[in-house]
Amino acid sequence: MLSYSIKRVLMLIPVLLGMTLIVFAIIHAIPGNPALTILGTKATPEAIQNLNRSLGLDQPWYIQYFTYLKHILSGDLGTSIQTNTPIANQIWPHLAATIELSFVAMIIAVVVGINAGIISAWKKNSVLDYTAMIVALIGVSMPIFWLGLLEQWAFSVKLNWLPSIGRMDIISNVQPITNLYLIDTLLEGQLDQFWMVLRHLILPSIALATIPTAIIARMTRSSMLEVLKSDYIRTAKAKGQRMFWIVYKYALKNAFIPILTVIGLQTGLLLGGAILTETIFGWPGIGLYIYNAIQYRDYPVIQSGILVIAFIFVMVNFIVDLLYGLIDPRIKYR
């Protein structure tokens, strides 16, 4: 297992390197000039030229790429063109916001999705099954921005139960330690603030969880259906085992490998795909950070932001690969 892990980590290098090249190529292919976007229509053409020069954007693309690569390899994520501040200082608060949101969304998706899938498989072709699968179908096809606005309208504006925007009350003073506010408020021992942060998480995390919940539910259903047909389940039934234990203990364990794969993929997708949720809920996450950078053609931020997300995506899937062995002892790593 150790040698496998080392091998996998080494394989990350070409993957990430390829990633930098692709990202670099794409952002330089989109039209638009950062200097012009930063300075706006008010700037003189000369000022734009000057800024282009001081940003190194007048260099040929391969020189720009290698300069960028050199910096990345020495651990320097670069400096934002727009704000002229080091990206390394800015990226963590944004990333932490997204991680917190995605984590809560993923918990919802896993708990709700797996249970819905199990019930559907267990009560195949029942009203319960049809309801769950129709809801899942709607979930997959739901536009998140629309769902988000609807949630805000219902639970904030009309019912006044939950806050509609932000990570916390705007004038509250949660002290960032890790920038994961659920943890920070606990570290500070501020239970009321923890509660307040949690309340802010509810609407956006439900919006973000919709699609993964639906996908996990559908995957769980099909995987469970397969397993429930197998001989050892019939034997267990014949022995008079309680159906609940058969489903949750024996069947789920064997059905879990494909579900885990989907969970891994979805977690990675959430990190990069939270942008719509972040826009609607005024959530200062990495998606919003990169989105702004794209609008400003802030090349270093786009590059480093996507690189960090790609890295996390690859790492999550690496962890999932390792988990396979824990769940199914028949899987051996070489």
Restricting to residues 147-186, name those near another protein by CB under 8 A.
Answer: 148-149, 152-153, 155-157, 159-167, 169-172
42 contributes a contact to another protein by CB under 8 A: yes
241 contributes a contact to another protein by CB under 8 A: no
31 contributes a contact to another protein by CB under 8 A: yes
Candidates 2, 10, 29, 40: give the one binding another protein (CB under 8 A). Answer: 40
Q: Find the part of the chain contacting another protein (CB under 8 A) among 1-9, 61-69, 113-121, 308-316.
A: 113-121
Indicate the residue among 23 and 81 with the shorter CB distance to another protein.
Answer: 81
Query: Partners of 132 in the beta sheet?
Result: none
- Three state DSSP letters for 102-144: HHHHHHHHHHHHHHHHHHHHHCCCCHHHHHHHHHHHHHHHCCH
Q: How many residues bind another protein (CB under 8 A)?
A: 78
Indicate the residue among 16 and 233 with the shorter CB distance to another protein.
Answer: 233
Distance between CA 124 and CA 112 in Å, rounded? 18
32 contributes a contact to another protein by CB under 8 A: yes
Q: Find the part of the chain contacting another protein (CB under 8 A) among 228-236, 265-273, 284-292, 317-325.
A: 284-292
Indicate the residue among 59 and 115 with the shorter CB distance to another protein.
Answer: 115
Token pair, residue 146, equals 């629309």
The DSSP annotation for 282-322 comes to T---HHHHHHHHHHHT-HHHHHHHHHHHHHHHHHHHHHHHH
Q: How far is the CB of 240 from another protein (least distance, A)?
A: 12
82 contributes a contact to another protein by CB under 8 A: yes
Token pair, residue 196, equals 């307040």
Degrees, nearest 5: CA angle 153-159-165? 50
Q: How far is the CB of 95 from another protein (least distance, A)?
A: 12
For residues 215 and 94, the answer to whether their CB atoms sit within 8 Å is no
Q: How far is the CB of 319 from another protein (least distance, A)?
A: 25
Q: How far is the CB of 73 from another protein (least distance, A)?
A: 24
289 contributes a contact to another protein by CB under 8 A: yes
Distance between CA 139 and CA 146 in Å, rounded? 12
Restricting to residues 201-230, name those near another protein by CB under 8 A.
Answer: 202, 206
Candidates 14, 45, 75, 240: give the one binding another protein (CB under 8 A). Answer: 45
Indicate the residue among 250 and 296 with the shorter CB distance to another protein.
Answer: 296
For residues 202 and 154, the answer to whether their CB atoms sit within 8 Å is no
Q: How far is the CB of 150 from another protein (least distance, A)?
A: 10
For residues 43 and 36, the answer to whether their CB atoms sit within 8 Å is yes
Q: Find the part of the chain contacting another protein (CB under 8 A) among 25-33, 217-225, 226-234, 324-332.
A: 25-33
108 contributes a contact to another protein by CB under 8 A: yes
Candidates 59, 83, 190, 261: give the one binding another protein (CB under 8 A). Answer: 83
Backbone angles phi, psi at 125, to 5 degrees: 65, 15
199 contributes a contact to another protein by CB under 8 A: yes
Token pair, residue 279, equals 């826009």
What Å distances lie between residue 95 and 22, 168, 269, 270, CA to CA? Answer: 22, 16, 14, 12
Distance between CA 26 and CA 278 in Å, rounded? 23
Q: How far is the CB of 46 from another protein (least distance, A)?
A: 7
